[in-house]
Every structure is written in C-alpha cells, then in structure tokens.
Amino acid sequence: MYLRYQLFDDQRDAMILVARIMILILYGYFGFTYVTDHSSFVTYLKSVNAPIPEFTAIVATIVEFFGGLALLFGFWTRPIAAIFVLYTIGTGIIGHAFWNTTNPADHHTLFVHFFKNVSIAGGFLFLCLLGPGKYSIDKR
C-alpha cells in the first residue's frame, strides 16, 4: 500500500514545484520571445489566420510571459492555471488546426501538436486541483 498511495507524500511540495517549472519552461521561453520580437509573432498569427492578430498577440504575451511568471512563483496559482487550461486548448485550435489540411504529413504534425496542447492543458488542470504547494507565494 505504501508504494501505491504514499511513496511521494513527503516530497509532494517539491514535486509540485518541479512540475510547475517543467510545464512553464515552454511558456516562459515563448512568452519572452513575444516580448522581445513582437512583430514576428504578429506575422505568425496572421499566417495561421488567428482572430485580430495584433490583439491576440498582446493577450498571448500577457498570458504566456506574465501569467507564466506568476505560476512559476506560485502567485494566484489556481485561477491562472484555469486560464492556462482554456488558453492552451484555444491555441491548439488556432495554431494546430489539423482538420484544415489535406496533406498527410502536415495533418500528422498538426494532429500531434494539437494533442500535445490537450495534454499540457491536463497538466494545468492538475495544477488547478493541487495548488502551488508550499514553495510558492500562495503557500497552499
């Protein structure tokens, strides 16, 4: 029973911190690039037919860079993680629309990336449930 239910109980908070770091590496990197090279990001959004690319770029920058920092430090973790769930599914729908391509290679690539977004959203859902742990500003 110990291995099944209690093996990592005494490392719970440290593991939540590691998980927060792992899940946010991606968003921190891209959020930083959106801040430092905003025009290229807007151009990309136009290429994938994102709605209102200039506004979408601002929202994405705020969510990924500033929201990513907040989650990294464990500030307002549960509501911001909930925003990331919706955001990550939304970016999958906009940026990885596999249903819009007939090229088999493109379809496969977009399909994989879309479902990676779904999986990442699942990680954020866990963070909503668990909270940030004690190694955080929220300390919960």
| Percent of the chain with pLDDT strictly greater than 70 | 99
Provide the pLDDT confidence category of residue 139 given band limits of 50, 70 and 90. Answer: confident
Burial of 23 (0-12, 13-18, 19+ CB in 10 A): buried
Integer Cα distance of 36 and 32 in angstroms: 6
pTM given for the model: 0.90
Residue written as token pair 């300390």: 139
Give pLDDT tens digits for 56-95.
Answer: 999 999 999 999 999 999 999 999 999 999 999 999 999 9
Q: Please, which pLDDT band fits residue 140 given cuts at 50, 70 and 90?
A: confident
Structure tokens at 11: 């490392």
Question: What is the pLDDT confidence band of residue 115, given thresholds at 50, 70 and 90?
Answer: very high
Mean pLDDT (the chain) is 93
- For residue 1, the model assigns a pLDDT of 63
Query: In which element (H, E) is residue 87 found?
Result: helix 77-95
